[in-house]
Amino acid sequence: MHTVVAPMQGLVARLVVREGDVVKKGQALVILEAMKMEHVVAADRPGVVRSIAVQTGATVSKGERLVQLAQTHAEDEASASEVERDPRESRADLEALRARLAIGLDESRPEAVARRRKTSQRTARENIADLVDPGTFVEYGALVIAAQRQRRSVQELIAKTPADGLVAGIGDVNGTLFRDAESRCVVMSYDYTVLAGTQGVMNHYKKDRMFELAESLQLPVVLFAEGGGGRPGDTDSTQVAGLDCRAFQYFAELSGLVPLVGVASGRCFAGNAALLGCCDVVIATKDSNIGMGGPAMIEGGGLGVFEPEQIGPSDVQSRNGVIDVLVDDDQEAVAVAKKYLSYFQGPLQAWTCPDQHQLRSAVPENRVRVYDARAVIYTLADTHSVLELRAGFGLAVITALARVEGRPLGIIANDPAHLGGAIDGDAADKASRFMQLCDAFDIPILFLCDTPGFMVGPEVEATAMVRRAARMFVVGASLEVPFFTIVLRKGYGLGAQSMAGGSFKATSFTVAWPTGEFGGMGLEGAVKLGYRKELAAIKDPAQREQAFQNMVAMAYDMGKATNMAAQFEIDAVIDPAQSRQWIMSILRAAPKPSRRREKKRPCVDPW
């Protein structure tokens, strides 16, 4: 005979068995109630109930006898043997949860999906599924609905406002490429099929939550920012203006701490655009419209009536520098987002590169012949590793992320095809901001210099050129990452110095290809300025021009790369095919950056 006793003091809420019952191990015998909670007293072995010592409603003490079990016969043992419950079996409460969550999935919303297809766009969940590694995404706030219970029924809100129009969570991005590195990211996407992707009370709370997680866990953030900004129709709140919302502050505070990737497709206005503008990189589709105010806000301000397509179209926002990478569609946008993130996730073990001997003929022997600077970058870097940023803006400078022997690298190159490579205000802004980005996340910088200097002239000075040019010196002087300069052809004046962190001796190395030429200013200008009287004294125009050309040739000979190296104003003149060898000499020597808990720079300038 075996006695089952009370494990605690409590009230007998229910007797589950009767005398004579055959019970299995683990089967409930008595339900005790203590502190408003029910506790199941189960059989710790199979047996037959011989007696029950208590009645329903009785109060028992700990250790008091409840039930006596007799040993079963052999045939009873078989019937009382424990039957394992299939762990895959679903309970009613789990099925109810699944049904509730399914309402917000694309499969349950065919009309919403169809609307996206009409505009050749993907759904929020499709973009996220393409971005994150399969099976790694965990969603936060999936059960949230719009704060409009005073206007609509809960069932309607569940059906029409799933996740309150913001799908958010954490997932792996590029985890298969960087198995030993951190690939977890916060991923968020406004859902334009839910109240036009507007920012409501509840999804603001979700943003706050996700941004706090990104800060505490130091996770990169990918934000799909399509939407119409603030939502005026939420009723379940005591807010008047909602200007105490913390989302914009929290997101801005992440700048410089973790990579921030913004993606725009379709319409992105007001609050959505504000978040997008805080991102380190803005990837936008050609059908995007990005603006700090949408049609309603513009009309409400008495500024006219406009269609959404007239506000911040992609061609405008690409030329003015708002968009970093312009893509054809959502699929390409996701691919670029993954590629962009990869530079901040570490080196790749496998890589290939073009034949470096091609670099020997990249710059023409004719010193005034234009060449393709992008071809130089694509040849110098690992195959398929280059991602150019702000290609439509600041055309005199090319900024790109790339890899050399699998290691991430930032590249800033003058483009002689625009203004002869002279750095204007837009190019200076573009280069300065890119330096901040690379420095904030420990990405070394390669300068490919071919510039006659900063752009000059009355029209240029009207663009605040003095201040904008100075940004390159101030930011360059603050760099803590390794940076180095290869002079492809021209290295003249202050512009050349700005392509070397402020001085040819500020770099880890400054070298030139044999085509390099140097001077305190452009050779022609230097001759005209320095020998003005001598040239003016020559009355014959043909003789004056010949004398001028002879002086330029002498100045060029003086400023040849080999002469600069002989005076040790640069470190070496190199075979162009050895450029990667020089780059890797520094990348291998540089200490591996440790993961920081605090920012290196206060922020990455949005501009």
Q: What is the pLDDT of residues 126-135, one digit of tens each?
A: 999 999 999 9
What is the pTM for the complete model shown? 0.87
201 within some domain: yes
117 within some domain: yes
- Here the CATH number for the domain that contains residue 52 is 2.40.50.100
Q: Parallel, antiparallel, or unpaired for β 184-190 and 221-224?
A: parallel
Cβ–Cβ under 8 Å, residues 152 and 200: no
Which domain-ending residue is among 310, 342, 374?
Answer: 342
Q: Tokens 């999906």 sit at which residue?
A: 113
pLDDT at 295: 85
- Here the CATH number for the domain that contains residue 511 is 3.90.226.10
Cβ–Cβ under 8 Å, residues 443 and 410: yes
431 lies in the same domain as 544: no
In angstroms, the CA 174 to CA 305 distance is 44
Long-range Cβ contacts of 594-599 (<8 Å, 24+ apart) = 595/218, 597/218, 598/257, 599/256, 599/257, 599/440
309 lies in the same domain as 432: no
525 lies in the same domain as 585: no
231 lies in the same domain as 317: yes
- Closest Cα to residue 186, out of 225, 142, 137? 137
262 lies in the same domain as 404: no
Helix orientation angle between 465-477 and 425-440, rounded to the nearest 10 degrees: 20
75 lies in the same domain as 168: no
92 within some domain: no
578 within some domain: yes
543 within some domain: yes
In angstroms, the CA 379 to CA 227 distance is 40
467 lies in the same domain as 417: yes
Q: Tokens 């603030």 sit at which residue?
A: 230
323 lies in the same domain as 410: no
71 lies in the same domain as 147: no
What is the percent of the chain where pLDDT is above 90?
71
Name the stretches of the chain with pLDDT < 50.
75, 78-83
348 within some domain: no
85 within some domain: no
289 lies in the same domain as 380: no
415 lies in the same domain as 434: yes
pLDDT digits (tens, 9 = 90+) for 430-452: 999 999 999 999 999 999 999 99
Q: Domain span at residue 243? A: 97-342
Domain count, the chain: 4
Which domain-ending residue is among 284, 312, 342?
Answer: 342
360 lies in the same domain as 458: yes
Which domain-ending residue is among 80, 115, 146?
Answer: 80
596 within some domain: no
